[in-house]
Chain A
Amino acid sequence: MSGARTAGDVPAPPAPIRWSEAGDGSQRARVPVPVDHRDPDGPAIDLALVRYPAAGPGARRGVLVVTPDDPGSSGIAMATQVRAALAPSVAAVFDVIGFDHRFSGESAPLRWGLDQREIFWVFHESESFAEEVRFQAELAAKAAGHSVDVLPHITTRAIARDLDVVRRALGEERVCLLGHNYGSYVAAVYCELFGDRADRVILDSVLSPDWVWQGLFTNFARNCEATLRHWCAATARPQGPLGDTPQQVRDAFDEVLRKAGAAGVTLPGVPVPLNEQFLRVLTMMLLSSRRSHPALEDVIRSARSGAPLQPGTQQLIGSMFAVPRDASTAAAQLAILCGDAAWPRALEEYEAAVQDASGFMDRALLGVKAGAFWPVQPLEPPTVFGPRETGGVLLIQAERDMFTSDAGARRLRGLLGDRSRLVMLRDVIEHRIFPFAGDPRVDAVAQEFLMTGRLPEADVVVGDDSYEDGEVRR
């Protein structure tokens, strides 16, 4: 099965969608999709959809589908966030649509009974390699025990095919797409499979097709360490609380990590002591946006001196962990990250990577993952990208994005060819730019593209002049 359509291959039109008002201006609906797209009349599940109808005034231009930004995370929530941040001129003319992708959220979620540690499998590490092997194998065993029959169908390509079922159910010839992070990959796969069914497409914080998906982990480990070094350099200053050279700052950070590993670190006002693994993850999260870099400095300072955290830091940490991560979200994430492409099964590769660990996230991210024990093989190879007859693809990328490094956007831009343009925010540490970051230049380019279909003449570098110390100048 491929997206290529031939004359004789006209799928039956799906039943029209019946929307119900949610009461908050949005509408909800469910659309059935086949579990196995090779067998359209076989077992089906319902996808949960949200729609924010074009608010007017002005003629409706079509639909803008927002794709889920992480494997397993709610596309309905994402669409809601995007809609709230979109310029009124865009919201006026587009129906904004989101969906929880197959086997996540409200779309036949996976119930594997994952415990708290398993939910954070991505960052999990153990005292010993053998212990981690056991942990990850047990995780794969849960996947096999609960869902071995559907696992081969929990893939990005299946999600992209679902999206086309949604398009047809909407009665739309073409759809505009906006995808962030993993959502950029979903949207790109849709373009590859369905070509001209994709109208104007914005890919923001872009994943490289080369990272599917072990590469995502190795790339991320590198970026975390690079960002930490960047933070050390930016944090070092005369009479600074952590030191006046980058090395002194790094030593201070490493000392706190060691302390967390040995006895745990208690932060005043934070109810639980932080262990080493938790502190690494917290560091990673605080590093991911320049805006929270001062909070990391505050955490390390407080952990060393016992002095209280600043109220802003405490609030930020609280908000980061306030929303408990759902077990079914983690299950779907696991299914996609382990299922889109086969992981190496030779354990010595992972063991060697952990032994050679140098970056502060290497042990967790380069170690063995459940993919090494995955009970199914991909039904088809990972997507290969090339130029397609879309209405154009606009890629938006912050150069120092820690989650999705600039290399991914550059790589995909190269593959997509002439119908695509890249907007690169030079030297910026940010993830998910449009429409959240409020960068006027990016917003202008993106809105122009959505409204008129016009791409910039050439790739755009949004330079330092619009930024102050990496922050968007407002």
Chain B
Amino acid sequence: MNQPASYYRQQVAWGEPDPALGGARRAVLRVPLDYRRPGERDIEIGIARHTATGRRQGVLLVGPGDDLGNSGLALLAALLGSLPERLTEAFDVVGFDHRFMGASTPVFCDLEPEERFWVFHQPESFDAEMRYQATVAAKCSAGTLDLLAHANSRNICRDMDVIRGVLGADRIDYLGYSYGTYLGAVYGEMFGAHLNRAVLDAICSPDWVWRGLFTDFPANGERALNRWCRWAATQHATYRLGTAGPEVRAAYDAVLAAVDRGEPVTLMGFPLDRTLARLIPVGILNSEKAYPVLADILRHLLTQADLDAGSMEFLARMFGEPKEESGTVAQLAILAGDALWPRSPALYEQDMLKAAGEFPWTGAALNGIKAPAFWPVPPAEPATRLGTESGGGSYLLVAADEDMSTPWAAARRMHEVLGERSAFVTVADTAHHRVFPFYGNTGLNELVCDFLLTGSTPGPDHVCPNPDRLLEPAASGRG
């Protein structure tokens, strides 16, 4: 097998329906490690397909992971439990792990537990942080560059097109979240003739690739945290964290300050360090449905009151199913592999100090120096220019107006860039990251189904009202 065409024609063996994957069947296909040298060395891509339960209309490919480096197969499993029946009837729903993680030629590097948290790692000092991030880059790249030099979004999109070929589809439909939204946009640019409809939900800005993903976060993080504080203040009767947002924020900041001073602060007996004391709330704030969990945790930290059962379960899930190491490694390789990062320590130090002042919660961590600044190979090719005339496919862009990780403004940038090929839908008054179908907004879910099944789009800048909203809008993320 050495010509590109033969990759597209390869026969794959489908396994038995896997109950852990919502009954989807797994298969493994082979793709070139380096598409400039097909046939020289192949890698495996693990995919899974849930065949249409009714009259089959097409293939709905689900992009990998909610966040970069998270398993696409795990996402498929979650989706199969939540997708409206109208879609599972009409579509073969297919997920995959992207190259170098999970079921797709994973790369392991013996990272220490602390080294897996490099994205949100909270600096003690600039020098210590530089050392830490350089070490993460060194460990992840040691002996792995023969593979990881080929980790980038364009190659993942080429893999997606091989998947399409293997599935026998001339055109695919697509559903992507977070990093998967970027892949959906790049795929449409590279293989536009083979993309029918794409739903992008929790959308990355096309301007982020990729340091911008980090430097955009702290401002949105503060906004999201303060929004939660506002909500927690409405629950004062239950959690007693304060009667106004700023009061709740002060309570959390006091805990943070204690952790940062090195005082022992434990969560269910588990010591919190300066990174985890931030990362746990970040993880929770991506799900509006988990708002009470954070309130419960903060109450626990302040008063040693027992956690309630729901919080225990949430935390057990969070710590019980940590991101696979190969996901962390591949994530770093892709973030460094799509575009060259600045490499000057002085620049990062300046940015870190400035952001630490402006955005005390996560500014230092995200604007400071990061492992991609030490990545030992430059990108194999330039980043994709999106929204050119050669692109294809029609897009439905979905954004929660208060989303923290992929803010509404980022989605708007994608809308601007994709132009008339895209329709834009806002879900009002929610910070939920990944709204379709997980948030359960009926209006949105109908709209997405209609789009994927018929191509119909709502009017320009449609807003889905939110009957489940937790609190009155203040200054909205929509600005």
Contact = CB atoms under 8 A, between A and B. Distances in A.
Contacts of B142: 345-346
Contact of B134 (A131, A347, A377): A347
A77 to B, nearest CB: 33
B131 A133 contact: yes
A374 interface: yes
B215 interface: no
Nearest to A140: B343
A141 B340 contact: no
A62 interface: no
A376 B377 CA distance: 5
Given A133-B131, A373-B374, A345 B343 contact: no
Interface in B358-396: 374-378
B340 A134 contact: no
A373 B378 contact: no
Contacts of B135: 346-347
A137 B137 contact: no
B376 A137 contact: no
B343 A130 contact: no
B378 A148 contact: yes
Contacts of B332: none
Interface string B236-273: 00000000000000000000000000000000000000
Given A346-B138, A347-B131, A141 B378 contact: no
Interface string A345-388: 11100000000000000000000000011111100000000000
B376 A138 contact: no
A148 B127 CA distance: 25
Interface in A425-458: none
B376 A345 contact: yes
Nearest to A345: B138
B138 A347 contact: yes
Nearest to B137: A345
B376 A377 contact: yes
B302 interface: no
A133 B343 contact: no
B376 A375 contact: yes
Interface in B171-186: none
A144 interface: yes
A347 B134 CA distance: 8
Contacts of A373: 134, 343, 374
B343 A375 contact: yes
A347 to B, nearest CB: 6
B145 A137 contact: no
Main secondary structure of the interface of B (DSSP, over half): helix
B130 interface: yes
A141 B138 contact: no
Contacts of A145: 342-344
B346 interface: yes
A65 interface: no
Contacts of A372: 134
A137 B349 CA distance: 13
Contact of B376 (A130, A134, A342, A347): A342
B342 A376 contact: no
B345 interface: yes
Interface in B134-165: 134-135, 137-138, 141-142, 145, 149
A345 B134 contact: yes
Interface in A125-151: 130-131, 133-134, 137-138, 140-142, 144-145, 148-149
Given A141-B344, A145-B343, A345-B142, A134 B377 contact: no
Interface residues of B, number: 23
**Range of interface residues on A (Cβ < 8 Å):** 20 to 34
Interface in A66-81: none
Contacts of A142: 344
A148 B340 contact: yes
A140 B340 CA distance: 14
A284 to B, nearest CB: 28
Nearest to A348: B135
Contacts of A377: 145, 149, 376-377
A134 B130 contact: yes
A124 to B, nearest CB: 15
Given A345-B376, A375-B376, A377-B145, A137 B343 contact: yes
A137 B345 contact: yes
A131 B377 CA distance: 24
Interface in A117-176: 130-131, 133-134, 137-138, 140-142, 144-145, 148-149
Please indicate which of the listed interface residues B128, B134, B149 has the most CB atoms of chain A within 10 Å of its own CB.
B134
B149 A137 contact: no
Contacts of B344: 137-138, 141-142, 145
Contacts of B134: 133, 137, 345, 347, 372-373
A372 B340 CA distance: 17
Interface string B108-137: 000000000000000000011011001101
Contacts of A141: 342-345
Contact of A138 (B137, B149, B346): B346
Among A130, A137, A138, A142, residue most surrounded by chain B Cβ atoms (within 10 Å) = A137
B138 A376 contact: no
Given A141-B345, A144-B343, A347-B135, A375 B130 contact: no
A137 B377 CA distance: 15
Contacts of B342: 141, 145
Nearest to B377: A377
B127 A134 contact: yes
Nearest to A130: B127
Nearest to A343: B376
A192 to B, nearest CB: 24
Contacts of B127: 130-131, 133-134
Contacts of A148: 340, 378
A361 B370 CA distance: 32
Nearest to B138: A345
Contacts of B345: 134, 137-138, 141
A130 B131 contact: yes
A375 B344 CA distance: 12
Contacts of B377: 375-377
Nearest to A131: B127
A347 B374 CA distance: 12
A137 B130 contact: yes
A375 B378 contact: yes
Interface string B454-466: 0000000000000
6 contacts: A133-B134, A134-B345, A137-B134, A375-B343, A375-B376, A375-B377
Instruction: Across the A-B interface, give the 9 residue pairs with the lowest CB-CB distance, nearest first.
Output: A345-B138, A141-B343, A130-B127, A141-B344, A144-B343, A134-B345, A148-B378, A137-B345, A377-B377
Given A137-B134, A376-B378, 7 more contacts: A131-B127, A137-B130, A137-B344, A145-B343, A345-B141, A374-B376, A376-B377
